[in-house]
Amino acid sequence: MPLTRYQERARREVGIFLDKLAAQQSSAHSKYASLEAWEQTGKEFKLFGAYNPRKNGVGKDLPNFCVRVPTGGGKTLLATQILGLIYKSILKDRNGAGLVLWVVPSDQIYKDTLKKLRDRADFHRESLEFAVSRRIEVWEKDEIFRITPNQMRSDLNILLLKLASTNRETKEQLRFFRDSGGNIVQHFPSEDDPKLNKELKERIPNLDMIVNDEVAGEHLVVTSLGNLVRLYAPLKSLKARSIYRSSRLKKVRTTPRWTIMRTWLAWSMSHNLTMQASNGICQTCWQRPKTRFTE
């Protein structure tokens, strides 16, 4: 399915930002790469809103941006296209493989997205496979424990989540951070090798630990889904709910900070697990015409 002129424009402008970001990340000033890239991009076309620099869970620059899409503007299709652009620029070294968190706010959007991405004949799935040139594996939270290190290296693994699953609030959500079995243990050092566990903790300081005792020399990383996400520093795509109430624009409070009769596609990459990085998505965005589009 060909992109509309609107979608092509959005894709092109996001690509400009990502190319400049990749160039900045490879330079000596990578500490402020995302801010520098944003300012350079603003010289080529108008950007609305000042960029708010962020850091990830290990204190490094956290590139983050969003695309505000009119209702019916082809949000999922644009997401697949932008994901491909990211893997050809700032994540080029991953060769299209690794882990992506695809976060949605509601049960219905979850079901719709899962159906689209798992159907090999669906054009959203085809668009994504073409964009990254990799085998695609789509996982639900209860299935991800079967994933192996080899799959992480060879496939693009999409973990579909509802926003509440990434926040430590209820007993059910805490399972995300609990020590687990299955293939997930293959991604972490052996429990009888405290030295490797300590080195991993030093490399990724926000990992949860079962024990981290310098005096006793005991170190053991929690083999949880939460730590797996931190370990692979995935790309995160947040698809916010779309709200349509009248012909006038209204600001309404939702799980993401603002939704204005449109859907936000928010992107970030970090070692964080919670979606705190997406709380300020309205601070850095491409704004689009108010015209209604169909997917």
Tokens representing residue 168 in the block:
């430590």
Query: How do strand 235-239 and strand 98-104 relate by DSSP bridges?
Result: parallel
C-alpha 50: how far from its chain's center? 21
The closest of 280, 294, 289 to 65, measured between CA atoms, is 280
pLDDT at 122: 93
Q: What is the C-alpha to C-alpha distance for residues 46 and 6, in angstroms, rounded to an integer?
A: 16
Within 10 Å of residue 179's Cβ, how many Cβ atoms? 14
Model confidence band, residue 4 (pLDDT cutoffs 50, 70, 90)? confident
pLDDT at 233: 85
Read off the amino acid at residue 237.
Answer: S
Torsion over CA: 178, 182, 188, 193 (sign): positive
Q: What is the C-alpha to C-alpha distance for residues 294 and 149, in angstroms, rounded to an integer?
A: 39
Q: What are the φ/ψ torsions at residue 288 (nearest 5 degrees)? A: -125, 165
Radius of gyration of the CA atoms of the chain, in A: 19
Tokens representing residue 166 in the block:
């990434």
Contact 288, 70 (CB under 8 A): yes
Model confidence band, residue 217 (pLDDT cutoffs 50, 70, 90)? very high
* Residue recorded with tokens 């951070």: 177
Q: Is the pLDDT of residue 3 over 90?
A: no
Q: Is the pLDDT of residue 196 over 80?
A: yes
Q: Is the pLDDT of residue 273 over 60?
A: no
The 10 Å CB-count burial string (b at 16+, else e) for 111-136 is eebbebbeeeeeebbebbbebbebeb
Q: What percent of the chain has pLDDT over 90?
A: 39
pLDDT at 237: 77
pLDDT at 240: 55
